[in-house]
Amino acid sequence: MTTHSRHIVAAIALTVLALTGCSNTTGGIDTTQTTAIAGYGDVSQKDLAAGKLNFREANYGLAEKHFRKAVELRADNAEAWLGLAASYDQLGRFDFADRAYDQLVKLAGRQPRVVSNMGYSHYLRGNPAKARALLEEARRSLPGDVVIEANLALLDKA
């Protein structure tokens, strides 16, 4: 056998070996069972924490980005929805804020602090009648709450 013939035989053998390594009895579909990697917990928490930090520092654009990522990672995260809605309020994106509040109410119900935030949102929009109605609803459900009372006082000054 010549050197050239040996190279051809070796090339054919490698090709056959490569092809047989790729085939299986299911017609080329990988049926390997996989499982999620355990130990990572709630992956949305990092973005939730970053959203809160940026919101406290009045970086509302970055806060919105992180809260949005948190709800994309975990759609049942009520705290992230609340932060997202509040961020949209601060950015003047009330159409998006309304959508976030709607999701939050569907998820967590009409809780007094949520209703208070919705009232504050309407205060920011320049809609004092709607703001007052929502803040009074929140006050009836949670009398004496400092944040609700502060929002009402702010509305009274306007």
How far is the C-alpha of 23 from the C-alpha of 59, rounded, in Å?
54
Q: Which residues contact 152 (CB under 8 A, 6 or more apart)?
A: 132, 135, 136, 139
Q: What angle do CA 81, 84, 85 make, to 5 degrees?
A: 90
Percent of the chain whose pLDDT exceeds 90: 72
Q: Which of 3.40.50.12280, 3.40.50.2000, 3.40.640.10, 1.25.40.10 is the CATH number of 44-108?
A: 1.25.40.10
Answer with the residue of higher pLDDT: 158 or 36.
Answer: 158
What residue ranges do the domains of the chain occupy? Answer: 44-108, 110-158
How far is the C-alpha of 119 from the C-alpha of 130, rounded, in Å?
7
pLDDT tens digits for range 112-122 = 999 999 999 99
Could you tell me the pLDDT band of residue 37, with boundaries at 50, 70 and 90? very low
Question: Would you state the pLDDT for residue 143?
Answer: 95
First and final CA of the chain: distance in angstroms? 99
Contact by Cβ (8 Å): 63, 83: yes
How far is the C-alpha of 71 from the C-alpha of 52, rounded, in Å?
13
- Which residue stretches of 26-158 are H helix? 45-56, 60-73, 78-91, 94-108, 112-125, 128-141, 146-157
pLDDT tens digits for range 52-93 = 999 999 999 999 999 999 999 999 999 999 999 999 999 999
